[in-house]
Structure 1
Amino acid sequence: MPRPGLPYLCVTPPRPARGKHINTPRPRGVVPDISGIGERYDVRYAWRAAPVLGSVALVVMYTEAMLMPSLPKIQEEFNVTPADASWILTVYLVVGTISAALFGSLGDMFGKKRMLVLVLSIYSVAVTFTGYAPSFPLLLLARGLQGLGMAMFPLAFSLIREEFPPEMVPTAQGIVSAMFGAGIIVALPLGAYLSQSFGWRATYHTVTPFAVLLTVLIATYIRESRYKTPRPVDYVGIGLFALMASSFLVAVSEAPTWGWTSGQTLAFFALAAAAGAALAAQETISEHPFIPKDILNRNVVAATTAIFMVAYAFQMSSQNLSYLFEMPPPYGYGLDILSTGLYMTPMAVVQIVGAPVAGRLLWRVGARRMSVAGVVLAVLGFQLASAYAYSGVWTLIGYLSIAYLGLALLNVSLINLLTFSVPRNRLGAATGLNTVFRNFGSAIAPAVAGTVLTTFSTIAYYSLGGFKAYFSVPSTSAYSINFDIATAMFILALVPIAIAREVFTREGRAAAAAAEA
């Protein structure tokens, strides 16, 4: 039986026969083979590899967060409409969602490090080219290639679960989650400063050396995964999934511009539904399906569903907050982009500190209880923000920091619940599916939040030389409604969390070990 406090793969080693003494030396820093299935873990390597793999999230989030303050300048330089400029984000999201699922599965087949180096190499070229894009179509092409950056997340999470001692995995996953917040802290104020002082292209020029350096570090220091499942590629399944995901994401992203009931929007939704039905039929009859059936267990379904809801709530609150900070008084706080980024720093700091601590506590607390604690904190923070949105910027930041701490707990507990619930030769596919659902939630939320802000609006004006210029701004109730919707999504996430089977208990570890065997 597993010893209390140890991960489910670590079982008590057999005692030597009476009268015999075993004193086999082993290298320092290497955990002995006590799993019964040939496992050996190098703790020193794990501690060296954790910050390298965590830097994947840092580089990608740094790049994407720096882009946001630059969008108006990009639109102005290429003389495109706001609807056209929205494709800068849409094409990245579409390609990223497809590539996360695709390269996650390819990592299971051919090696996760190999796929990670390939994806990161293409990403480095893409961010370099974006900074020199001579035309808007070529800029969109480069942004599409940047979407491959999303495939790095499932590959990095999978390598951590495979190569790290199980008791270290939650902490390492927490470090990766913390890097999301670190990237935002650096990028928002720095991106605004670079864009205002040197132009938007300078923001991409600062990314290139870090992306290239990270590629070299991963190629040099990260070990290849030990778990591979070579099998034929389901090209039909991949094509149908790509069609379904791209149609759905385009419909959701462009609905605020086209109209939710317009012919274009409905056509893309119908195409997504048809492709989804065809994909379900294909995966049922395929001998080697693109989405392996054995990963669709109770915990994976629960974790991905909860991740969808959490991502939705987070993106809705982020969109809400950006408008609330930047709208002119008395309808908002009238902050510029740089000030907005600086004021949001405490919320990112909370995530940086909270995520690794949550990882260290996960073996004691359990994924389900930590997820519930995260929901409670998020609901409390967003409800306080909803009730006191205009009570002062620092008061609002304090309330939202409570919510973002809850978000950190949820991110760490849900990704570990998922990675400890599937065989390690299927980790790429499972974590890729997790990224897909996260992106779906992230895509829907801004569209809904924007619709609420537009629907519940009021007319404001400013005087200019004796004339009054009228314009529409979100009303005070619009912000409260969006915070309330985010709160409701967090509460709904309790349903899949309650359905999940705990894996950070003695019984849960035993069940997971049996499933993996």
Structure 2
Amino acid sequence: MTETIEAPGSRPKGGGMLVLYLALGGLAFAVLQSLVSPALSTIGRELNVSTSDVSWVVTAYLLSASVLTPILGRLGDMAGKRKVLIGVLAILAVGTIVSALAPNLTVLIVGRVLQGAAGAILPLSIGMVRDELPRERVATTVGLISAIFGVGAGIGIVAAGPIVEHLSWHWLFWLPLVLVVIALIGAVFGMKESPVRTPGKLDVLGATILSVSLVALLLAISKGQSWGWGEFNTIGLLAVGVVGLVAFVLVELRVKEPLIDMKLMRIRGVWATDLVALILGFAMFGTFLLVPTLLQLPEATGYGFGKSVSQAGLFLLPTVVMMVVFGPLAGILNRKFGPKLPMFLGAIFVVAAFTLPAVAHGQIWQVLASGILTGAGIGFAFAAMSNAIIEAVPAAQTGEATSVNTIARTIGSSIGTAVVAAVITSNTTPQGLPTDAAFTDGFWVCAAVAVLAVVAALALPRAHKRHEEAEATGVDDLPPEPDEIHLLHRSNA
């Protein structure tokens, strides 16, 4: 049995370098997630493999991140967030070097699996910020770090074209490695260990069941389009995934030290936030697929803009900039009004971002306006999601709760990529190019899905309802209001 008692004044007043190192690690992970996608055709051509085979470079990364994020997030809560973060960054560095030097597809996939371990950076980082920074800085800092993950994904899409055109696909890994190394050095020499722990042992059975179910689900979602949605492989994997998740919940309700405390999932502030994460993960990657494809189509089609890969990427820069601006702004709103308002506003912006081009996308300003609204909405909502989790769960369980939220984003991104790609390819010209109607349908699909995020955001409880809900669900140790004494007391009998 252990306990950590901490008064607000005992927290360090600095933390600027801590935030920098955490942000660099998160940026590297997010960039690596999206940087490879626009270059898949080039990688496949140089490695002499088919389009279907080279897609495993993305699939392996997503599978690894989804499986390892909750496990490493829980280990961080148990053994120390800094210690696990150092290990994660080291694995990310090794995986990035392996990928950069890969002579064939098999080695490249191994490197990507290693990189996927870095999915735990977000929950570990948010936990460290919550534990280490003065509480008046937590909301804004969490907003910034959360926005960095959206920013990194956008930068990856923007930078892929110029890197491949002027260097080679190997530099897709060498350049982010610089960020990883700086973050690793900072974690080793510039961070101290968090005092907040959840003693116990890892739930191996639960981790195994969750891993199998997530692999089955994401594999079916990622490969369903190429295999065929009605094929036995796809349906079978989806069934295994769903049954596995049900079994996981049943196991977690019965074990003494679960990988994920199911009591947390009953909290309205948690499940509503995870639902928003799933939906907006879908929408964000819908943008990253629809907009570059539309911009790169020949002008002769009457609706394409004839841009190169590099030029199309540059049109996503306003999206990235808005994420940077609105992430910290969401933190400021969170301090005054709680996370519900910025999450709701973010979802509204995303609905508007897709409704505009769904109605008309024949002018370049319409595409740019859509990108600006998307960046503002994702920046707002992603930052608010992390703060909503922090407000809803005990400090010692931040890692496992934010891990689930990260998984929800990953699954949403996978579903969004698969669904939007299916919409685009289902309506093509005799030359095999997507029709104008395909983009209209794609934008409407994303707009309709984003409406669900608005509904989910409205389901969030107001800030003053948090303690009532905690009592009702049996979860103690919720973060107090700003004028209360901060007392963390966590014990395991």
User: TM over 0.5, yes or no?
Assistant: yes
Q: CA deviation at 1:405?
A: 0.7
2:423 to 452, 457, 476: 452
Query: How do 1:191-340 and structure 2 match up within 5 A?
Result: 191-296=160-265, 297-329=267-299, 330-340=302-312
Q: CA deviation at 1:43?
A: 4.7
Q: CA deviation at 1:141?
A: 0.7
2:74 to 105, 123, 135: 105
2:43 to 69, 74, 78: 74
Residues 67, 203 of structure 1: 8 Å contact kept:
yes
Q: What secondary structure is seen at the aligned counterpart in 1 of 2:433?
A: strand
Residues 8, 135 of structure 2: 8 Å contact kept:
no
Distance verdict in 2 for CA 1:170–1:472, change over 3 Å:
same
1:145 match: 114
Which consecutive residues of structure 1, in runs of 5 or more, have no partner in the other structure? 1-34, 460-470
Q: CA deviation at 1:55?
A: 1.4
CA distance in 2 between partners of 1:511 and 1:284 (Å)? 19
Residues 158, 316 of structure 2: 8 Å contact kept:
no
Q: CA deviation at 1:68?
A: 2.9
Q: What secondary structure is seen at the aligned counterpart in 1 of 2:14?
A: helix
Residues 36, 58 of structure 2: 8 Å contact kept:
no
Specify the code of the residue in structure 2 equivalent to 1:355.
Answer: G
1:464 match: none
Q: CA deviation at 1:37?
A: 5.1
Q: CA deviation at 1:361?
A: 2.2
Residues 457, 474 of structure 1: 8 Å contact kept:
yes
CA distance in 1 between partners of 2:284 and 2:152 (Å)? 16
CA distance in 2 between partners of 1:178 and 1:59 (Å)? 13
Q: What secondary structure is seen at the aligned counterpart in 1 of 2:353?
A: helix
Residues 41, 164 of structure 1: 8 Å contact kept:
no
CA distance in 2 between partners of 1:206 and 1:454 (Å)? 33
Post-superposition Cα deviations, 1:302-333, rounded to whole Å, max 9, x if no partner, equal 11111111111222222111211112222421
Q: What secondary structure is seen at the aligned counterpart in 2 of 1:474?
A: coil
Which of the pair has more CA radius of gyration? Answer: 1
Post-superposition Cα deviations, 1:211-241, rounded to whole Å, max 9, x if no partner, equal 1221010121122121111212211111000
Residues 318, 375 of structure 2: 8 Å contact kept:
no
Q: What secondary structure is seen at the aligned counterpart in 2 of 1:161?
A: helix
Specify the code of the residue in structure 2 equivalent to 1:98.
Answer: V
CA distance in 2 between partners of 1:497 and 1:242 (Å)? 28
Q: What secondary structure is seen at the aligned counterpart in 1 of 2:429?
A: strand
Residues 174, 358 of structure 1: 8 Å contact kept:
yes
Post-superposition Cα deviations, 1:338-362, rounded to whole Å, max 9, x if no partner, equal 1011111111111111111221222
Post-superposition Cα deviations, 1:11-54, rounded to whole Å, max 9, x if no partner, equal xxxxxxxxxxxxxxxxxxxxxxxx98544444533233222211
CA distance in 1 between partners of 2:280 and 2:159 (Å)? 27
CA distance in 1 between partners of 2:155 and 2:112 (Å)? 21
Query: How do 1:484-495 and structure 2 match up within 5 A?
Result: 484-495=444-455
Specify the code of the residue in structure 2 equivalent to 1:354.
Answer: F
Q: CA deviation at 1:185?
A: 5.9
Residues 128, 208 of structure 1: 8 Å contact kept:
yes
Distance verdict in 2 for CA 1:218–1:235, change over 3 Å:
same
Q: CA deviation at 1:453?
A: 1.0
1:361 match: 333
CA distance in 1 between partners of 2:12 and 2:21 (Å)? 15
Distance verdict in 2 for CA 1:481–1:221, change over 3 Å:
same
Q: CA deviation at 1:148?
A: 0.8
1:478 match: 438
Q: CA deviation at 1:191?
A: 3.3
Residues 51, 175 of structure 1: 8 Å contact kept:
no
Matched residues, number: 469
Q: CA deviation at 1:122?
A: 0.7
Q: CA deviation at 1:182?
A: 4.5
1:439 match: 410
With structure 2 as the length reference, what TM-score do the two structures score? 0.90
Q: What secondary structure is seen at the aligned counterpart in 2 of 1:493?
A: helix
Q: CA deviation at 1:515?
A: 4.3
Q: CA deviation at 1:514?
A: 5.8
Residues 388, 396 of structure 1: 8 Å contact kept:
no
1:426 match: 397
2:103 match: 134
CA distance in 1 between partners of 2:150 and 2:406 (Å)? 17
RMSD across aligned positions (CA): 2.1
Query: How do 1:112-131 and structure 2 match up within 5 A?
Result: 112-131=81-100
Residues 69, 195 of structure 1: 8 Å contact kept:
no
Residues 8, 134 of structure 2: 8 Å contact kept:
no
2:481 match: none
1:28 match: none
Q: What secondary structure is seen at the aligned counterpart in 2 of 1:285?
A: coil
CA distance in 1 between partners of 2:398 and 2:142 (Å)? 14
1:497 to 447, 451, 457: 457
CA distance in 2 between partners of 1:231 and 1:508 (Å)? 27
Q: CA deviation at 1:71?
A: 1.7
Percent sequence identity over matched residues?
25
Specify the code of the residue in structure 2 equivalent to 1:427.
Answer: T
2:356 match: 384
Q: What secondary structure is seen at the aligned counterpart in 1 of 2:76?
A: helix
Residues 311, 442 of structure 1: 8 Å contact kept:
yes
